[in-house]
Amino acid sequence: MPRFELKKSIEVTKMNKRTGMPTGELATTIPFGAIIDDPELAWDYGKFTFQGQLYRCASDVLQAAMEKQPVAIATPAPAAAVAPAVPAAAEPAPSAPQAPGLKWEALRSNPAALRAKVPGGWLVTVYSSVAFYPDPDHAWDGASLP
C-alpha cells in the first residue's frame, strides 16, 4: 500500500467507500504534511484514502501536492546479538547520544492501530491520529471491552 505525504494543502470531496460516488458534503481541506494512502490518478480526478475515508480531487492538484517518493513505513530492526563485555579502558569515547525510541506494537482489534508504552500509560496511533491512554500499571491488553 503506497503512502505519500502531501507537500501542500488540497481541497477534496468525500466519496462513499462502497459506491465510489460523492457524498454531497461540502469540500474539505486536507492539510500540508498529511499522509495519504493508495492514490489513483485517472482522467480528471484522483482518488485516495485519508484516515480511512475515501476522497477525490482534480488529478493535477493531487499530483502537484504529492511528494515524489512514497513515505517509508518504519519497521523495527531485529534485536542485535549481545556483544561480549569489553574492558572499560578499551571502550571508545561515546559519540552523539542516541535518541530514545518507541517500541510500537499492533493491536489485535485493529492492525492499523499501534500502541507504545510511555510513562503513565499508552501512546496509541491510528493512521495520523495520536492519543494518550492513561494506564499507570500498563494493564491494558490491547483489546476492547465486550
* Residue range 59-76, pLDDT digits in tens: 888 888 886 665 555 545
Q: What is the pTM of this model?
A: 0.47
Start-to-end CA distance of the chain, whole Å, equals 31
User: Cα angle at 119 between 117 and 120, to 5 degrees?
Assistant: 100
Residue pLDDT, tens place only, 80-135: 555 555 555 555 556 656 666 778 888 877 767 888 888 888 888 887 788 888 88
* Nearest CA among 103, 15, 11 for reference residue 64: 11
Ranges of each domain in the chain = 3-65, 102-141
| pLDDT over 60 (residue 79) | no
Q: What was the pLDDT predicted at 12?
A: 93
List phi, psi (to 5°) of 55: -135, 165
**Answer CATH for 3-65 from 3.40.1350, 3.30.1490, 3.40.50, 2.30.30:** 2.30.30
